[in-house]
Structure 1
């Protein structure tokens, strides 16, 4: 079931810019307002992959990093290709604008480029800092003249035809375009990739990895990975996948690096480059993140939680927990009751 707002509720803890788990901070990141423009026969899969990462980011951050509204060109219910009805909050023309507009046409997109739609998209460009064409969205954006001289991609079934129809667009075979005033991606899975990229741009690599982990996005068997071909983010993602599976019995960092076919120093360089943190710090944050979830969601004792998170001594967990979250596990549990 889709909610029509991105509100998560009152914050409990404040997110640190690049932390995997939530640190205390004196500043609160601004809420980014996002419009989600739906057309008849939109892809329900693409819609879920657009808004669920935003919902997850809010949940992990314990605050409202993103707020979104569903929009239509006209008032009235819009139905997905699989029959899911969504009633938009408002029309695009009435929306005041914000950080990002996600345009999501799928089937029937050629017939949806009406004068009314094209006018509304051109007007929206002045109110939104960025516009993203999801699935077949680039077709409508190009027809509105918003992609002239811009890089863009689209669903690969339409890539050749799109390039022929709009020669003024710099058409790429990329999975997504995540930089510039006009963004684009070509389908449901690439929608997830684009949204994760944006979360990383806004709030740091570690929150992006944490959101991706909730959907098991990018999880791979380390034996399948060729480290020579991996960039910083890929190395960190692979290492974090191993760390997640070993929070109860933490591995030496050297062992993790070896499983990735790397030396420890090489892995450390990848982590510093991608996250600004050492592998040891990230591993610790992961373990404490598990501890926080167990404190919040279970009635396990601190001793049991310590064991689940790789601590032989519950007092050691309590000290680390206080440093990370500003309160002890017992105090956090009391604050939630």
Structure 2
């Protein structure tokens, strides 16, 4: 041991948090300790009351303790997932604000950014969140700058979208603290071909379908997505990418199997459904925000596309939010077989990276 200061992190687990995102954030820390042969990072898990919480895949997780018993840490990271709005309580908001007053660095992974924003701790900051929640956060928190980046580091706030994006964020932090060689070695251990950075953006579903092909089609869809409240005329869209309207229609039919107007309508309805499920915005306001000329027209289009009127879907969501999830309480957690650093010493790669940044 060289006497390097240990960075400590508390992961706050909320009900229905995404287990994959948590693992993507924690595993790089474990591997940093193993490869360096030093305890560079120490982590602690907490829930609001110390009781087990459900991950979004149905796995019950027993944390190390409650937020009130959590040790002092350099960074507090909120781990969100499904149904994030229902997990925000006055107690959590008060505790997080207290951490901010003590100048702690605060972070959120997956939908954890929502909780920080709800506590007023992202006002004036730029942040990342899973793309599915971008629209809802833009409406709910106008003082927060939303980014489509995989992760965002803005002063003392670090936020990441879901899936494997927390892995990139933590590798970036490790590289900044202890050098690129260690971060690269961790990436190799996880068979992770490239460490992505803040300039990498979340992929929208269209890009998954088309890859790097058809850049004009992607440009038009990006324009559509950015102009849902006031839809752009199809002739203007075609002119923007130097196509005729007929060429535009053929392109949509060939690659997206529908007309441009139908695709535009689909985008507006999908956003409307996200806002309907994730915000308390009235159906009248929703219709305006998503570019419909009247509420009856919106309701008709919504019912034809999703099979139910928006009023019925809102009623179902309200009833689901009233259900309180009860975590499984185990008498006592299984004992950890050995300290994680002691376990790391038995690995062949222990202390294999020596050239850490001073």
The two structures have a TM-score, normalised by structure 1, of: 0.57
Q: How far did residue 179 of structure 1 move? A: 3.9
1:95 shift after superposition: 2.3
Taking the aligned partners of 1:155 and 1:165, their CA distance within structure 2 comes to 15
Cα deviation, residue 219, structure 1: 4.8
- Residue 195 of structure 1, aligned match among 170, 192, 206: 170
Are residues 1:107 and 2:77 paired?
Answer: no
Q: Aligned residues, how many?
A: 205
Paired with 1:141 and 1:115, the residues of 2 have a C-alpha distance of 12
CA distance in 2, matches of 1:102, 1:96: 13
Aligned with 2:133 (options 139, 158, 168): 158
Q: Deviations over 1:84-124 (max 9, x none)?
A: 22211121233242211110010110111111111121112
2:29 corresponds to which of 31, 54, 66: 54
- 1:297 offset after TM fit, Å? 4.4
Q: Which protein, 1 or 2, shows the higher relative CO under an 8 Å CA cutoff with sep ≥ 6? A: 2
Distance 1:105 1:88, change over 3 A: same
RMSD: 2.7
Q: What are the ranges of 5 or more consecutive residues in structure 1 without an aligned counterpart?
A: 1-10, 12-26, 221-229, 235-295, 299-323, 326-337
Q: Which residue of 2 aligns with 1:266?
A: none
Q: Distance in 2 between matches of 1:69 and 1:207?
A: 22
3-state DSSP of counterpart to 1:37 = strand
Whether contact under 8 Å (2:126, 2:154) holds in the other structure is: no
Q: Which runs of 5+ in 2 are unaligned?
A: 201-346
TM-score, structure 2 as length reference: 0.53
The answer to whether the 8 A contact 1:178-1:197 is kept is: no
Residues 43 and 156 from structure 1, CA distance in 2 versus in 1: closer, same or farther, beyond 3 angstroms? same
Instruction: Please identify runs of 4+ aligned residues in structure 1 that moved more than 4 A.
Output: none
| Corresponding residue number in structure 2 for 1:174 | 149
* Distance in 2 of aligned mates of 1:67 and 1:127: 19
The answer to whether the Cα contact below 8 Å between 2:32 and 2:186 also exists between their aligned partners in 1 is yes
2:50 alignment counterpart: 75
Aligned to 1:310: none
Change (3 A) 1:57 1:297: closer
